[in-house]
Amino acid sequence: MTAVSPDAARAVLRANDRGGYTVPTARLYPFQWNWDAGFTALGFGTFDEPRAWTELDTLFKGQWEDGLLPQIVFHAPSEDYFPGPAVWRTPARTPPTSGITQPPVHAMVVRRLLDTARAGRLAEARVAQLYPKLVALHDWWWRARDPEKTGLVHILHPWESGMDNSPAWDGPLARVPMTTTSTIRRRDTGHVDPAMRPRDEDYRRFIHLVDAFADAGWDPARMWAASAFRVADIGVNAILLRAEEDLHALAGRFGSPEERARLAERIDAARLAVAATWSDELGVFRSVDFEGRATIDVPSSAGFLPLLTGAPSLGQAIALAATLDRWAGPGGAILPSVPPSHPRHEAQRYWRGPIWAVVNWMTSEGFARHGEPAAVRLRLYTRKLIEHGGFAEYFDPRDGAGLGGGPFTWTAAIYLLLAG
Ligand code: DGY
C-alpha cells in the first residue's frame, strides 16, 4: 500500500483520469459514474479547477433530453464490467449510457466549487453553462420519480441509491423476481473478493429490473408502472433537498426570480416531507416503501444525510450525534453503513456494514451545518482511517482495513477535502 498523503491522493486522481473523465478505479469500474464524478470534481477542485469543471461537463454529455442524468456513462468500451451497454438496451446515443440515475450531488458540488474558486471568472462561466442542466435534472426527479405527488422522490432500482445492497432494501427487493431469462456474467467478483460484494441473488433481481425497464422502453411513466421496487430513499431525498437549496442559491445569480420562487416552494415542502421520516426509536431518518407507504425500519448511514439540509431540528441533530456514538465500532470506528449491533450487519460486504469516506464527509458537513461538535470528530477520524487503510473503496469497521477496489478516486478526493 502506498503511503497516504495529499500528493498520493492527487496521483490517484491523475492515474484514474481517462481524459476528461475519471474512472472510480481501474477495471472494477471502467466508466464514468454519476455521483462519483461529483466527488471527483471536488477533489480536482483542490488543485486543478479547470479539470474539476471538465469532469462535470463530461458527465453531463450523458444527460438525456428529459433531464435524466444516467448512473453510468460508457465513454469507451470495456469488457471488465457487467452490465455493459448491450444489457441496458437504452435508446442509441453518443456516448451510450445506462438508463437509471444516482444521488444528485451535482448542484451541491457546483456551488461549493464556485464558492471556493480561485479562478472566479472561469467558475462563473462554467456554472452559467451547467445551471440549466442542473435545473433539468432536478425537475426530472420530481416529474419522473414522484408522479403520484407523495412529497418524496423515489428510486426504482437499488443502484440508484448508490448503496446497492443496503439491508434497507431487503424487504422491497424481495418483491422483485430473480431473473431466469437473462444470463448474468458478473465481472466484479473477478476483481474483488466476492465476500465484499453483493450476492448473486441480488444481481438476479438487479438485472430483472433492468430488463423490465428496457421492455418499458425507458419511458419514465412506464418504468414507474412496471417497477416492483419503488422506494423513497432517505439518502437520495436528503441529497436532492440539499442540492435544491444550493440550486436556489445559484438561481439568484444564474436563474430567474420565478425559478427561484419555484425552487423555494419545493424546498419548503421537501423539508417537511424529509422531517416526517424521523424515528425517535432508531435515532435516524428513514426511507419509505411506496407499497403501503410504510417506513423502512432498518437503520443505515443514509439516515444521517438529512443533516446536510435545513430539515432536522436542533434536537434531531443532537440525537444523531448520540446515534453516531452508539453505532461506533471497536476503537470508535465511525460511521458504519449499518450499525454493528444490527442482525443484518456484515462488516465486509459493501453497503451492509463497511464505512464509506464519502458518507462520512457528507455527514460531517451536515453536523457542521447544525453546529454539532461531532463534525470535527468525524472529519479527524475519517482522515486517520484513510491514512491507516489506504485509498480503498470502503473500510472494515472492526479494524479499519481497506476493502473492495482501489486505489479509489472518491476516497482520494475526500482525503484532499479533509487534508486541506
Ligand atoms: C456496481 O456495479 O457495483 C455499481 O455500484 C452500480 O452502480
List of residues 6+ apart from 196 with CB closer than 8 A: 348, 349, 350, 354, 403, 404
pTM: 0.98
Q: Which of 29, 35, 74, 82 to mutate to test the pocket of ligand 1 (most atoms within 8 A of CB)?
A: 29
What is the distance in A from the centroid of ligand 1 to the CA of 165? 10
Is it true that the peptide bond before 167 is cis, omega within 30 degrees of 0? no
Ligand 1: nearest atom to the Cα of 81: 2
* Structural contact between residues 214 and 83, judged by C-beta atoms closer than 8 angstroms: no
Q: Are strands 32-33 and 284-285 parallel, antiparallel or unpaired?
A: unpaired
3-state secondary structure 105-148: CHHHHHHHHHHCCCCHHHHHHHHHHHHHHHHHHHHHHHHHHCCC
Most informative mutation of 164, 184, 193 for ligand 1 (most atoms within 8 A of CB)? 164
Per-residue pLDDT of the chain (420 residues; tens, 9 = 90+): 779 999 999 999 999 999 999 999 999 999 999 999 999 999 999 999 999 999 999 999 999 999 999 999 999 999 999 999 999 999 999 999 999 999 999 999 999 999 999 999 999 999 999 999 999 999 999 999 999 999 999 999 999 999 999 999 999 999 999 999 989 999 999 999 999 999 999 999 999 999 999 999 999 999 999 999 999 999 999 999 999 999 999 999 999 999 999 999 999 999 999 999 999 999 999 999 999 999 999 999 999 999 999 999 999 999 999 999 999 988 899 999 999 999 999 999 999 999 999 999 999 999 999 999 999 999 999 999 999 999 999 999 999 999 999 899 999 999 999 997
Q: Which residues pair with 25 in a beta bridge?
A: 29
**Nearest CA among 214, 191, 194, 192 for reference residue 202:** 194
Distance 238 CA to ligand 1 centre (A): 21
In the reported structure, the alpha carbon of residue 51 is separated from the centroid of ligand 1 by a whole-number distance in angstroms of: 24
Q: Whole-angstrom Cα distance, residue 246 to residue 124?
A: 15
For 76-79, the CB contacts below 8 A with 24+ separation are 76/18, 76/30, 76/31, 78/30, 78/31, 79/187
Q: Where do we find the cell 448542484?
A: 107
Q: Are 29 and 38 in contact (CB under 8 A)?
A: no
Distance between Cα 104 and ligand 1 center (Å) = 16
| Per-position b or e across 260-279, b if 16+ CB within 10 A of its CB | bebbeebbeebbebbbebbe
Pocket around ligand 1: residues whose beta carbon is below 6 Å from it?
A: 71, 159, 164, 188
Protein residue closest via CA to atom 7 of ligand 1: 159
Q: What is the DSSP letter of 304?
A: G
CA distance 19 to 340: 40
CA distance 416 to 326: 28
Cα–Cα distance for residue pair 242/208, rounded to 1 Å: 32
- How far the first Cα of the chain sits from its last, in Å, is 22
Listed in sequence order, the residues at least 6 apart from 367 whose beta carbon sits closer than 8 Å to its beta carbon are 307, 317, 320, 321, 373, 374, 375, 378
Atom of ligand 1 lying closest to residue 71 CA: 7
Q: Which residues are catalytic?
A: 164, 393
CA-nearest residue, atom 6 of ligand 1 = 159
